Chains A and B, each alone.
Chain A
Amino acid sequence: MGKTSDAALITRVGVQRLIEVLTARGYQVIGPTVRNGAIGYDAIAGIGDFPVGWTDEQDGGHYRLRRRDDAAFFGYAVGPHSWKRYLHPPRLRLWRAQRSGDEMRIIDEDDEPPRYAFIGVRACELNAIAIQDKVFLGGPYVDPHYRSRREAIFTVAVNCAVAGGTCFCASMGTGPKVEAGFDLALTEIVHDGEHRFLVEPGTDFGAQVLAELPYRPAPPADIDTARAIVERTAQSMGREMPATDVPALLRRNLEHSRWDDVAERCLTCGNCTMVCPTCFCTSVEDETDLSGTMATRTRRWDSCFTMDFSYIHGGSVRSSTRARYRQWMTHKLSTWVEQFGTSGCVGCGRCISWCPVGIDITEEVRVLHEDECDGDDS
């Protein structure tokens, strides 16, 4: 965690320099940028690639870019992409096998991923990465592909100055203030004088990189301003997870009629699992060539909303929409805790915004919760 005594101030020039320093150190710098009507994460060369002066309007099944009245770099919530795309790629070739005569030779992949520097990682996203760390690195079976990417990253976090319409990190205890898991943390101060950024190092390496930037020590007033910005964000969340023991609530309601209700609305399209920064499931696909001499094994993102996902001999275990939605939500919010010691949800709101029909995970929990509360009253 950044110590306030180490806090520094940089300007836009300093952020540009940060990108240059990281690039010079061999990192591929990934950050927010406007792509096809949304703020996604992609390779960036300089501050001109940032979504300068843009923000996002979000609601269930709804996302629109909107102009801000300033030139903020990070004045938006989170977009359709998450860092999962880089740490746990959508498709990954695992190995190939070549046959010659009666011999078969396994050809290992040279999985040498780029060293990524992530700029603009939010508190919810740091928590999502920490959750995926538990999934991929925590048990006896470590995922080498995730590890090689994860261990090499340089993380520049950003404290949220705005909350999106579907954000609920405050009620999940996962934001909006970044607490851990970063090399440098920025807080953007865009009003109130000069456009500037409070920088707090989270690691020694982060402090080394900061030392290469044109900075000045942060005055106490700016530290207070930065704190006030994050506190205001915490007060303006668009959504809220009900303040109750959600894992136990769901365990008690596995046969609630609400699952039938949501099944009428759910498209089983899988979008929620694809945009979720913690959903980690994959399928393995084998391909062969026409001559039958080369086979390729590829891993790709899969979703518990597909029929193939739970297919075993004879059919799919979870063939109804009710069973699939319940599986996803109870895993995310309840059984995940038993499995990994933490909720699988960080309150980023992506599953709400990017659901084509606006199904709201906080609303589904609220209905179950209020139904129990009503029962207590009677």
Chain B
Amino acid sequence: MARRRRKPRLAVWKFASCDGCQLSLLDCEDELLAVADALEIAYFPEASRGEIRGTYDLSLVEGSITTAHDAARIQDVRRRSCRLVTIGACATAGGIQALRNFADVEAFISVVYANRAYIQTLATSTPIADHVGVDFELQGCPINKRQLLEVITAFLSGRRPTIPSHSVCIECKLKGNVCIMVAHGTPCLGPVTHAGCGALCPSYNRGCYGCYGPMETPNTRALSEWLQSLGMTPGDLLRVYRKFYANAAAFRTESKRHDP
């Protein structure tokens, strides 16, 4: 492979989000120097005030679109980005703030803010892909730093990232975990949830919370019927699907089935 004349430029953008996914990049302590060696970190306000304006070879986008200003800004980011990768539940599905999509935002504003005049917000929280073309979506709340490195490394070598979109169950089985739903009766979203966390919660005897969103072909209806047989009420089911990935299509549809 011919050496590039200059290092690819990386930009990290923030929209409506908690910053946790961006921190996953800074959390790559051992690999951070290698990242900086392979890429020119050109725009990353979370890490540095230094800013290189212009265009970027790879943009990582965190956060969802919740304001008209951000809806316009993402268009600019897209225009200036060769590859645009969204990271995390907010950017890929609308995030926890997409709970507003099921409620009256005006009512929230009147309760939370003293003066409504300064608040300009949209009625919904939507993923980046609803607004611009996205080259790859990395799931998770927050994303897994190993997977982030895989996405960056795959970009650098011009290959498809190895990010399986099957269930969390397969991660459990590869690890040799005993299934906590079958053996303990613990309700778990693992069978309908996207892999990537390494089956973190089931490895510690907690049911999967669905932090990585729906897996590739989620059968939420069949799982819900089983969870009800384990004692979950419609209210419980509404809440388990209406969390970090509330606005992801499969979880949104399923939660509505249990919404009185």
Contact = CB atoms under 8 A, between A and B. Distances in A.
Q: Do A and B come from one complex?
A: yes
Interface string A330-368: 000000000000000000000001101110000000000
B173 A290 contact: no
Contacts of A303: 166, 170
Contacts of A270: 166-167, 169-170, 173
A285 B162 contact: yes
Interface in B29-83: 31, 34-35, 37-38
A353 B34 contact: no
Interface stretch (B11-19, B118-126, B180-188): B180-188
Interface residues of B, number: 48
Given A36-B183, A287-B162, A269 B190 contact: yes
Given A62-B182, A356-B182, A267 B165 contact: no
Contact of A306 (B31, B156, B162, B216): B216
B153 A274 contact: no
Interface of A: 35-38, 40, 61-65, 80-81, 85, 90-91, 264-271, 274-275, 285-292, 300-301, 303, 305-308, 321, 353-354, 356-358
B233 interface: no
B178 interface: yes
B182 A63 contact: yes
A36 B205 contact: yes
A288 B222 contact: no
Nearest to A356: B191
B257 to A, nearest CB: 14
12 contacts: A36-B183, A80-B182, A265-B219, A269-B190, A275-B173, A286-B159, A289-B34, A290-B149, A291-B37, A292-B1, A306-B164, A356-B181
A287 B163 CA distance: 11
A288 B153 contact: yes
B164 A61 contact: no
Contacts of A275: 173
Given A36-B178, A270-B170, A301-B173, 15 more contacts: A36-B177, A38-B178, A62-B182, A63-B182, A90-B175, A265-B219, A266-B222, A267-B222, A269-B167, A286-B162, A288-B153, A303-B166, A354-B182, A356-B169, A358-B226
